[in-house]
A and B are shown apart, each in its own frame.
Chain A
């Protein structure tokens, strides 16, 4: 069965620090990969996605993620975080030809000014 692992459950950073959130998935076939963000009191929103092509994906608000097929990973990065990036981040995987999104457990990011 597919699964998604997010090893960082809670990350605390100061503003301007660099961020990398890990995401690993288990599925042998072709997948679509997503990062979602949920700001306090708001909806889940799509941050970025990978379907095919360039494995380095640029998303909104300066976020990017790199798909490394050999490592089954899709880590999220941002060179310099801001206080407004404080949120819960979810990695998700969707095997092709299915409607199902399998989510990781989420990573809570707190950024202090």
Chain B
């Protein structure tokens, strides 16, 4: 089946640094990718919709200058957490929509811990 690769799966960083998370669709093309975050014991919350070749659409309350999204190709979207702080520690998951059949596939997630 279709695979979405998310990297890294786990990252620890110091407060104030930036962290980039990659989301790749390995065997299909995706004009649309989604970024979610999940706090412990809470729901997956949609952060933004990433559109290839155009600006991402952010959900209410998500700081676009803090969570930079780039969807430069049909197989890659990146989320950069800029100037990370401990409150950004969370589990981030991406998903990609297959252009051909509209199916949605999820990455394995990235656990971000900011010290």
Contact = CB atoms under 8 A, between A and B. Distances in A.
Contacts of A54: none
A100 B62 CA distance: 15
A12 B49 CA distance: 35
Among A36, A45, A99, A102, chain B packs the most CB atoms within 10 A around the CB of A99
B43 A101 contact: no
A42 B6 CA distance: 12
Interface residues of A, number: 17
B97 A99 contact: yes
Given A42-B108, A43-B107, A44-B93, A90 B44 contact: yes
A99 B57 CA distance: 11
B50 to A, nearest CB: 11
Nearest to A34: B104
A105 B41 contact: yes
Contacts of A36: 106
Interface of B: 4, 32, 34, 36, 41-46, 49, 93, 95, 97, 103-108
B107 A101 contact: no
Among A42, A43, A45, A90, chain B packs the most CB atoms within 10 A around the CB of A43
Given A43-B4, A44-B93, A103 B43 contact: yes
B46 A100 contact: yes
Contacts of A42: 108
Contacts of B49: 99-100
A42 B103 CA distance: 18
